[in-house]
A = this chain, B = another copy of it.
Amino acid sequence: MDKKRVYSFGNGQAEGKADMKNLLGGKGANLAEMNLIGVPVPPGFTITTEVCNEYFEKGHDTVVAILKSDVEAALANVEKLMNSKFGDVGNPLLVSVRSGARASMPGMMDTILNLGLNDKVVEGLVAKTGNPRFVWDSYRRFVQMYGDVVLGMKPADKNEQDPFEVIIDEVKEKKGVKLDTDLEVDDLKTLVAKFKAAVEAQTGKSFPDDAYEQLWGAICAVFDSWMNERAILYRKMEGIPAEWGTAVNVQAMVFGNMGATSATGVAFSRDAATGEDLFIGEYLINAQGEDVVAGIRTPQQITKIGSERWAKLAGVSEEDRKTIYPSMEEAMPPIYKQLYDLQEKLENHYKDMQDMEFTVQEGKLWFLQTRNGKRTGAAMVKIAMDLLRQGMIDEKTAINRVEPNKLDELLHPIFDKKALAEAKVLTKGLAASPGAACGKIVFNADDAAVWAAKGEHVIMVRVETSPEDLAGMAAAKGILTARGGMTSHAAVVARGMGKCCVSGAGELVIDYAKKTLTVGSTVLGEGDFISLNGSTGQIYVGEVGTKEAELDDDFAELMKLCDKHTRLVVRTNADTPYDAVMARGFGAVGIGLCRTEHMFFEGEKIRAMREMILAETVEDRRRALAKILPYQQDDFKGIFKAMAGYPVTVRLLDPPLHEFVPHYEKEQRELAEIMGVSYETIRVRVESLHEANPMLGHRGCRLGNTYPEITEMQTRAILGAALELKAEGLITYPEIMVPLTGILHEFAAQEKVIRETAAKLFAEHGQTIDFKVGTMIEIPRAALTADRIASKAEFFSFGTNDLTQMTFGYSRDDIASFLPAYLDMKILPNDPFQVLDQKGVGQLVRMATEKGRSIRPDLKCGICGEHGGEPSSVKFCHKVGLNYVSCSPYRVPIARLAAAQAAIEDTL
Q: Which residues of A pack against B, CB within 8 Å?
A: 691-698, 702, 705-706, 740, 742-743, 745-746, 749, 778-781, 784-785, 788, 802, 805-811, 813-814, 817-818, 821-822, 825-828, 837, 839-841, 843-844
Query: Given A706-B821, A780-B780, A828-B743, A809 and B698 touching (CB < 8 A)?
Result: no
> Could you tell me if A814 and B696 are in contact, using CB atoms closer than 8 angstroms?
yes
Contacts of A825 on B, CB cut-off 8 Å? 705, 745, 749
Question: Once bound together, how far apart are the Cα atoms of A809 and B699, in whole Å?
Answer: 10
Known pairs A696-B696, A785-B840; A746 contacts B822 (CB<8 A): yes
Partner of A813, one of B692, B784, B827: B692
- A809-B692 Cα distance, complex, nearest whole Å: 13
Q: List 30 A-B contacts (CB under 8 A).
A: A691-B811, A691-B813, A691-B814, A692-B695, A692-B811, A693-B696, A693-B814, A696-B805, A696-B809, A696-B811, A698-B814, A698-B818, A702-B818, A705-B821, A706-B818, A706-B821, A743-B827, A745-B826, A778-B809, A780-B780, A780-B806, A780-B807, A781-B807, A781-B837, A781-B840, A784-B807, A784-B839, A784-B843, A785-B840, A788-B839
A809 CA to B825 CA, complexed, in Å? 28
CA distance A742 to B828 in the complex (A): 10
A810 touches B745 (CB 8 A): no
The answer to whether B696 and A781 touch across the interface, beta carbons within 8 angstroms, is: no
Ranked 10 nearest A-B pairs via Cβ: A696-B811, A693-B811, A781-B840, A692-B813, A697-B814, A698-B817, A745-B827, A780-B780, A691-B814, A693-B695
Residues in B with CB closer than 8 Å to A808 are: 742, 779, 781
Indicate if the CB atoms of B692 and A841 lie closer than 8 Å.
no
Q: Which of B695, B698, B706, B843 contacts A696 (CB 8 A)?
A: B695
Given contacts A706-B818, A785-B839, A806-B809, 19 further A-B contacts (CB under 8 A): A691-B811, A692-B695, A692-B813, A693-B695, A694-B814, A696-B809, A696-B810, A696-B814, A697-B811, A697-B817, A705-B822, A742-B809, A743-B827, A778-B809, A780-B806, A780-B840, A781-B809, A781-B837, A784-B840
Of the candidates A693, A818, A822, A828, the one having the most CB atoms from chain B within 10 angstroms of its own CB is: A693
Chain B residues closer than 8 Å to A841, beta-carbon distance: 781
Distance of A843 Cα from B783 Cα, bound (Å): 11
Residues of B within 8 A of A785 (CB): 839-840, 843
A844: B residues at CB distance < 8 A: 780, 784
Report the separation of the CA atoms of residues A5 and B810 in the bound assembly, to the nearest whole angstrom. Answer: 58
> In whole angstroms, what is the CA distance A693 to B746 when docked?
24
Note all chain B residues with C-beta closer than 8 A to A807: 742, 779-781, 784, 806
Q: Which residues of B contact A746 (CB under 8 A)?
A: 822, 827
CB neighbours of A784 from chain B (8 A): 807, 839-840, 843-844
A821 to B693: give the CA distance in the assembly, Å. 19
A814 CA to B706 CA in the complex, in Å? 14
Closest chain B residue to A689, Cβ basis = B817
B692 touches A814 (CB 8 A): yes
- Contact A809:B779 (CB < 8 A) given known A693-B693, A695-B692, A743-B827: yes
Q: How far is the CB of A274 from chain B (nearest CB, A)?
A: 43
Chain B positions within 8 Å of A749 at CB level = 825, 827
A695 partner residues in chain B, CB cutoff 8 A: 692-693, 696, 809, 811
Contacts of A694 in B (CB 8 A): 692-693, 814
Closest-CB distance, A844 to chain B (whole angstroms): 7
Neighbouring B residues of A781 by C-beta, 8 Å: 807-809, 837, 840-841
- Note all chain B residues with C-beta closer than 8 A to A843: 784-785
A742 to B840, CA, bound (A): 9
Taking the nearest CB of chain B, how far is it from the CB of A448, in angstroms? 24
Residues in B whose Cβ lies below 8 Å from that of A705? 818, 821-822, 825, 827
- The CA-CA distance from A746 to B829 in the complex, in Å, is 12
The residue of chain B having its C-beta at the shortest distance from the C-beta of A821 within the complex is B706
Bound Cα distance A222, B390 (Å) = 87
Chain B: CB-nearest residue to A688 = B817
Q: How far is the CA of A821 from the CA of B818 in the complex (A)?
A: 37
Which of the residues B743, B809, B811 comes within 8 Å of A802, measured between beta carbons? B809
Which residue of A696, A811, A841 has the most chain B CB atoms within 10 A of its CB atom? A696
Find chain B residues with CB under 8 A from A809 CB: 695-696, 740, 742, 778-781, 802, 806
Query: What is the bound-complex CA distance between A818 and B657, given in angstroms?
Result: 13
Q: Please, which residue of chain B has its CB at the minimum distance from the CB of A817?
A: B698
Known: A745-B827, A749-B825, A827-B745. A817 touches B706 (CB 8 A): yes
For A826, what are the chain B residues with a Cβ–Cβ distance below 8 Å?
Answer: 745
Q: How far is the CA of A694 from the CA of B691 in the complex (A)?
A: 11
